[in-house]
Homo-oligomer: A and B are copies of this chain.
């Protein structure tokens, strides 16, 4: 029987040169999380099904990878938030609050396979979790971390679109149309994907009478942060609902904090179309788009929630978090030919000993270079010169050093830069 050696559909598997680039991006995310003082945690990929499904709805239940082992009903985690909620509930006495955690790991969803949809993918999450209360300052902080990461990743301009769930909820409350709340939010959530005629039609179907004009007015709000906040304040006077004005105040606070945190205004905007699902978030919500590649959709999202661990603990644990869907981001950028895979090897240097008697010197030089933190491969296969050079070329290292008897006799060792053809002495390499 011929065994199928392809990875399963919906699971990304990369060639080494792609993996090196993937890891570089992952590393930038990881280092930025650490720079802001987030502590890493790592929960198991397998959980009790009852833990995972405590809150999750029907869609999640359908997608989950679930299995029995002995008497245990087990499942693979479908996100990192639910396991974190369990983790925090379990370790609450030993954590310091506000607890700033980061987690980067694989999650699993048995979705129908389609282009760019993954069944195994990396999530890169941060959350700040408070005990009883949590300052809105942290809402701005998690957004500023995402800002710093995308600046450093350098995939061109991007926009972090920010709103606050209390604004739309307060508006609906103020208009007295709470019975249509979820339909209205769902409609606003897809407003960008449909034409304005379709939007008007579907809004009309909701039978809100003259109140629908307020919804239309609301989603048309745009402009600079100041302009958006002014428009909202104008509406607030008419609507006169506390939740609505609280939402505006929080959004205003986050916006001004971002500026003093050094987040440049061209990179974020206040955007009333951002709703982010229906159940989870209770305050600040945001999404990030790459300006030149809007077709990718959101590359990072997050927001504020009232209580992380309500299903596992009686304590009130408000939180705010952000997430980067790394696998999808990588896949999209690769698909758009925006990534270059220059490094086929982790080694930047390759030493080629011409024969057995040159091995000792090769090890000596390589050891010294490695002690300096350099990545050095030695070709240990007995290739002839032609094959050795072909190997060097294919390996994609930047510098090669051939060691023969002459080099050893003259004690003279020069690396060759594979791009420029220039020679670089060992002394210069050590100074690099």
Q: Would you call A11 and B46 a contact (CB within 8 A)? A: yes
List residues of chain B with CB within 8 A of the CB of A5. Answer: 51, 86-87, 89-90, 312-313
Chain A contact patch, size range: 35 or more
Q: A22-55: contact bitstring with B at CB < 8 Å (1 yes, 0 no)? A: 1100000000011111111111111110110010
Whole-angstrom distance between the alpha carbons of A244 and B394 in the complex? 38
Binding stretch for chain B, among A161-169, A264-272, A373-381: A373-381
Q: A23 — which chain B residues lie within 8 A by C-beta?
A: 40
Contact of A195 with B by CB under 8 A: no
Q: Does A233 contact B (CB under 8 A)?
A: no
Chain A 285-306 per-residue mask, 1 if CB under 8 angstroms from chain B, else 0: 0000000000000000000000
The answer to whether A370 and B36 touch across the interface, beta carbons within 8 angstroms, is yes
With A374-B35, A377-B100 already in contact, the answer to whether A65 and B46 are too (CB < 8 A) is yes
What residues of B have a CB within 8 angstroms of the CB of A134 in the complex? 381
- Which of A19, A98, A381 has most chain B Cβ within 10 Å? A381
Within 8 A of B (CB), among A119-175: 119-120, 130, 134-135, 137-138, 141, 148
Chain A residues with a Cβ under 8 A of chain B: 1, 3-8, 11-17, 19-20, 22-23, 33-48, 50-51, 54, 65-67, 69-70, 72, 74, 86-87, 89-91, 94-96, 98, 100-101, 106, 108, 110, 119-120, 130, 134-135, 137-138, 141, 148, 257, 260-262, 311-313, 344-347, 350, 359-360, 363-364, 367, 370, 373-378, 380-382, 391, 394-395
Show 26 residue pairs from A and B whose CB-CB distance is below 8 angstroms, ordered by the A residue: A3-B50, A3-B54, A4-B51, A5-B90, A5-B312, A7-B47, A8-B44, A8-B46, A8-B48, A11-B44, A16-B39, A16-B41, A22-B42, A33-B346, A35-B375, A35-B376, A37-B345, A39-B344, A45-B45, A46-B120, A65-B67, A65-B69, A65-B74, A70-B110, A141-B378, A257-B359
